[in-house]
Amino acid sequence: MSGSDLTGRKAVITGAASGIGLAIARRFAGSGAVVHLVDLDDLKIRQAAEAISSSGAQVVGHTCDVSDEASVAGTFSRIGAARILVNSAGVAHIGNLGSTTAADMDRLYAVNVRGTYLCMKAAIHDMAAAKAGVILNLASIAATRGISDRFAYSMTKGAVLSMTLSVAKDYIDQGIRCNCISPARVHTPFVDNFLARNYPGQESEKIKELAATQPLGRMGTPEEVAGLAHFLCSDEASFITGADIPLDGGFFNLR
C-alpha cells in the first residue's frame, strides 16, 4: 500500500454534487476511500453517488444543509466516525462594500463560514478520540489577496483560513492535521452558469478574459484541485498541517 492509498478510510466531502467537490469525490473513490457525498441538492447528490459507485467504489450520498446545525448533526450521525473531512461547499457573491447588502453577507457567512465550522465540529470529536484525522478546507486566493468586487466572498474565505490555522494548532497533539487549499480561478459549472446568465453570447470571449488573469494563461481545473486534495489527505502529507497552499497558476506571486 502506497502513502497515497486511501483504501478503507471514511471520507466526507461537502459540496460534492458538482465542480471541485465532485472531482475530489471521484479522486478519493478511485483511491479506495469509502466516500460520503454531502450536498444540498438531493437529485444531483444521488446522481453523483450512483455515477461514482458504478465503477465499484463505495459511495453514499447525503442531502444536507451545511448551514443548519440539526441537518449537519443528523447527517454526521448517520455517517459515523470519519477519518477525512473535506469542506468544499461554498457560495459566491460579486460586489464591493457599497453594493453588498446585509442579506448578502448573511447568506455567504451561513454556508462558507458557519457551514465549515459546523462540519468540522461534527467530525472533530471522533477524530480526536481515534487520535487520527485529516481536515481539508477550501479557502481561496481571495483570503489573502485584494480582489475587486469580492468583498463578502473574501471575508468568508479569510475566516476559513483562520479557522484552519486554529484547528491545526488546537488539535495537533490529538493526531489531527488541518490544512486548506487556496485556488485562484477554477473552471467549474458555476463559472459557465454565471457567464451564461450575465454575458449571453459572449461566453467564449469572457472565458478567455478570465484565463488571461492567471500568469499561466488559463484557469485551473477541478481535477487539479482534487489531485492536491488527495495528496494533502493522504499519508504522503503526514508532515503538513496548518498550511494554506495556493493552487493559482502563479497568481499569488507572479501577477
**Residues designated catalytic:** 153
Reading the block at residue 189, the C-alpha cell is 459549472
- List of E strands, 7-148: 10-14, 34-39, 59-63, 84-87, 133-138
Cell, residue 27: 479522486
- Could you tell me the three cell numbers for 50? 450512483
The residue among 79, 84, 25 whose CA lies nearest residue 55 is 25
DSSP β-bridge partners for residue 186 = 220
Chain-centre distance for alpha carbon 2? 25
183 forms beta bridges with 247
